[in-house]
Amino acid sequence: MSNDEQIISGCINGEEKYRYMLYKQYSPILYGTALRYTNTEDDAQDVLQEAFILIFDNIKQYNGKGKLVAWMNKIVINQALKLYQKQIKNTLVDYEEYENTLIDNSVAEYDWLSYQLLLDLIHQLPTGYQMVFNLCEIEGYSYEEVAKMLNCSLGTCRSQLFKAKKKLKQKIVELQKQKEIL
Amino acid sequence: MKTYKDIGELYKDKFAGYAPTPPEQVWNNVQKHYKKHNFVKTKYMLGAIGIVACAIIGFCLLYTLRPNTEKASTNKVFVQNTKPQLTEKQTTEENQPIATNMANNNNNISHSNINKQKAINQQHRNDCKENAPSQTFALPNTPQQENNQHVLMEKETPHPTNTDMAENTENKTNTDSPHITFSKDTSIVEGEQVYLFVKNAHNILWSTGEKTSTILVAPTYNETYAATFTQANDEDTTIYIQVNIENQTHIFIPSAFTPNGDGLNDEFKVSASETLTTFFISIVSAQTKQIVFQSNDININWDGTLKGTPQPEGRYLYSIQYQDKLGKIHQKQGDFLLIRTY
């Protein structure tokens, strides 16, 4: 029995010791996800807390296929999408044929690009863009999967992703310019 | 320095190993959830009983206190009235403040009362769902103050036949016929609409050709509207209502600032294209939710410190409330970045 399996069976039996082991092991990485999908640390903590309760309640349903962390990650994401449902709907209403795909989205890894700043930048995006960007780019879901998750069309999903990238790049370039001036 | 072809890749790389430890509180809450679980049922029961008990007590209190407050207000309002018993029923909680003010006006007309009167007019406009303030007609020699008073009377008393009320506020007027009231001169922002009205008049004809007592206008430049109507004594009269166009107030809020003392963007400076009547700004840190700055003067800007301590780089949220020249209240919320460069 591997470590994970032991922890899982312990959690299924409702033993607090194993719950804590699971939490201890995976909460940081899941918190990282939650922070990306929410706008404030408070919201991220709420999402994480609710997600862990769901994880413990439903861990029986984890079928061993795929990594445990991926399964839990999805629960965290779903929880965040649920929390921001309204905002997502409001920011994803417009459908546009996606713009020039050859647009230059290259960016240098400046030393001042801290986690906090990068997070702040995605928090500043409209909620819909933020979710699409996270799901497509960082989690690596396909457009089809994302469109299904966010309940929008493929075109909307694609156009929002391009807009999100454009905005992010603009912000970074702007900030770099400011740094150069100062 | 590595250059990424796509900003998405940069994010993916950066956040691949991102695993910050969540605060202990999260685990405590999860733990609490499971400990609570057993007590939930009893707790809900207790909660339900508590709510029912509160509701009962609340109702009892409400019913015992209510008659007292009503009596008290009636005394206050009609302190000068010689026949208080006639008007008692009219004083509902809603028109209490207005009625109180009318009593004040009877005593003396002072400057402070003018302000109050304005406030009432404001409230009144909301009540009537009309944008334009009103004037009273057929009282050429009465000062503005009393005019307003009279309008209030008409609006607040659905049955103008109650002459006792009218006598109490205005002795000199003829109370047999309802008074003709019409919109005051007003100002709007271009693109907005405003209702103009003439009440209690016959055969109204507006300069726009309309014949209704209320018209909706949306002028693009300063304009005077005329309305001709027949008075009670069968005389035709024309009144003029001026609608002025004011510039829209634009507020500029920066998206970032750099408090490093180099004279460039050292302060978070909000500016307005027009003079504002009132202004209030509150800045909160997005991380700690702590209020870092508050001001009611648009010329006092945040320098990035709290009690002399420089605040960390990051995202901050602002909430701005202001009143433009036309007295309209606006609210803006958003965020900006504090960037530290040395």
> Where residue B308 sits, what CATH number does that domain have?
2.60.40.3080
Mean pLDDT of all residues in A57-81: 88
**B140 and B214 co-located in one domain:** no
Mean pLDDT of all residues in A15-32: 90
Would B18 be classed as within a structural domain?
no
What local confidence, expressed as pLDDT, does residue B127 receive?
A: 44
Sign of CA dihedral A87, A89, A94, A96: positive
Q: Which of A182, A177, A119, A128 is CA-nearest to residue A156? A: A128
Average pLDDT over chain B, rounded to an integer: 70
Would B5 be classed as within a structural domain?
no
What local confidence, expressed as pLDDT, does residue B236 receive?
A: 81
Distance CA B120, CA B340 (A): 49
Q: Which of B89, B100, B93 is CA-nearest to residue B169? A: B100
According to DSSP, residue A138 is labeled: I
Would B109 be classed as within a structural domain?
yes
Distance CA A136, CA A158 (A): 9
**B108 and B189 co-located in one domain:** no
What local confidence, expressed as pLDDT, does residue A67 receive?
A: 85
What local confidence, expressed as pLDDT, does residue A103 receive?
A: 64
What local confidence, expressed as pLDDT, does residue A99 receive?
A: 52
| B284 or A111, which is more confident | B284
Counts of helices then strands in chain A (DSSP H, E)? 9, 1
What local confidence, expressed as pLDDT, does residue B84 receive?
A: 38
What are the pLDDT digits (tens) for A123-139? 988 888 899 999 998 98
Tell me which CATH code domain A3-83 carries.
1.10.1740.10
Q: CA of A63, closest CA in chain B: separation in Å?
A: 23
**How many domains does chain B contain in total?**
4
Would the CB atoms of A23 and B30 count as touching at under 8 Å? Answer: yes
Confidence of residue A32 (pLDDT cuts 50, 70, 90): very high
What local confidence, expressed as pLDDT, does residue B156 receive?
A: 35
Compare CB distances from B4 to A14, A106, A175 and report the shortest one's residue.
Answer: A106
In this predicted structure, the answer to whether residue B60 has a pLDDT above a threshold of 80 is no
Chain B residues closer than 8 Å to A109 by CB: 1-4, 10
Mean pLDDT of all residues in B165-169: 34
Confidence of residue B287 (pLDDT cuts 50, 70, 90): confident
Q: Which of B70, B94, B127 is the last residue of a domain?
A: B70
In 3-state terms, what secondary structure has residue B90? helix
Q: What percentage of chain A exceeds 90 in pLDDT? A: 24
Distance CA B333, CA A39 (A): 15
Q: What residue numbers bound the domain in which B90 lies?
A: 78-179
In 3-state terms, what secondary structure has residue A93? coil
**Window B:258-287, CB contacts with A under 8 Å:** 258, 260, 262, 264-265, 286-287
Q: Which of B131, B172, B130 is CA-nearest to residue B149? A: B172
User: How many beta carbons lie within 10 A of that of residue B281, not counting itself?
Assistant: 22
Q: CA of A58, closest CA in chain B: separation in Å?
A: 14
Chain A residues closer than 8 Å to B289 by CB: 40, 42
What are the pLDDT digits (tens) for B234-280? 778 888 898 888 877 888 888 889 888 787 888 898 988 888 888 99
In this predicted structure, the answer to whether residue A33 has a pLDDT above a threshold of 90 is yes
**B207 and B236 co-located in one domain:** yes
Q: In what helix (H) or strand (E) does residue B37 lie, and over which residues does it extend?
A: none
Chain A residues closer than 8 Å to B22 by CB: 27-28, 31, 44-45, 48
Confidence of residue B281 (pLDDT cuts 50, 70, 90): very high
What local confidence, expressed as pLDDT, does residue B44 receive?
A: 65
Would the CB atoms of B11 and A35 count as touching at under 8 Å? Answer: no
User: How many beta carbons lie within 10 A of that of residue A47, not counting itself?
Assistant: 28
Would the CB atoms of A109 and B10 count as touching at under 8 Å? Answer: yes
Confidence of residue A46 (pLDDT cuts 50, 70, 90): very high
Mean pLDDT of all residues in B305-323: 89
What local confidence, expressed as pLDDT, does residue A129 receive?
A: 87
Q: Which of A128, A141, A138 is CA-nearest to residue A167? A: A128
Domain edges within chain A: 3-83, 89-181
Distance CA B66, CA B213 (A): 39
Confidence of residue B288 (pLDDT cuts 50, 70, 90): confident
Q: How many CB pairs under 8 A join A and B?
A: 134
Mean pLDDT of all residues in B149-167: 36
**B257 and B314 co-located in one domain:** yes
What are the pLDDT digits (tens) for B20-52? 989 988 998 888 888 776 555 556 666 677 777
The residue of chain B with its CA nearest to that of A54 is B30
The CATH class given to the A89-181 domain equals: mainly alpha
Q: Which of A135, A142, A158 is CA-nearest to residue A84? A: A135
